[in-house]
A = this chain, B = another copy of it.
């Protein structure tokens, strides 16, 4: 049997519970497939939501930014809500209010701890580079001690979390089936374009990363 997280009051979905999922493999797969997380935290009692890159290592989510970034420092040590959403399609129903989106999303609740341990911090930074382009951390110029020092890394455990997935076509009521309009869904996919070399690149023979490593 696959591993499942324990639901809590805030991860237990109150509506459309069939879309909720506490399966760890499902949650990890969604986290690994996306590029951007929306990180919510509270500053002076008011909400803030920042889009951030990230990586997962085991059951931890790592965020990073400049240590001088006041917003990131404000989030450190506080409770955060990290929401990761992959848009998979548009759902066109017959009834206006039945229109929807197909998506996979994960919500993680937890405290964002500052990573102090040097080995964990370095591994997290490597993972963040690897997350956007697999294999990239081994070929990029590694971070210097000074760069690591001026970077803030936050860890959020993926223990209080849930996934929500919608797939397929519209859920129109039977009474609407004769409404004469096209109904169905339109898949959407994030597709990589041709790589654009940096103008300052000196070794022109270098080849860009393979497209199949991009836009998972």
Contacts and interface: CB of A to CB of B under 8 A. Distances in A.
Interface of A: 10, 14-15, 35-36, 38-43, 45-51, 53, 66, 68-71, 79-83, 85, 87, 89-90, 92-97, 99-101, 103, 105, 107, 109, 125-126, 128-129, 132-133, 136-137, 139-143, 147, 151, 169-170, 172, 176-203, 206-209, 214-215
Please tell me how many copies of the chain the complex holds. 2
B49 A82 contact: yes
A96 B183 contact: no
A189 B193 contact: yes
Contact of A187 (B172, B188, B193): B193
The A contact surface, by secondary structure, is: mixed
B215 A96 contact: no
Contact of A177 (B92, B137, B190, B200): B200
Given A47-B41, A81-B47, A99-B132, A191 B188 contact: yes
B92 A176 contact: no
Given A79-B46, A189-B191, A208-B186, A142 B197 contact: no
User: Which 3 pairs from chain A and chain B are nearest by CB?
Assistant: A187-B193, A38-B38, A40-B49
Nearest to A177: B200
B95 A140 contact: yes
Contacts of A46: 10, 42, 79, 81, 109
A198 B132 CA distance: 35
A53 B215 CA distance: 23
A206 B181 contact: yes
Given A95-B141, A97-B143, A190-B191, 8 more contacts: A10-B43, A35-B90, A35-B101, A96-B142, A99-B132, A182-B201, A186-B192, A186-B196
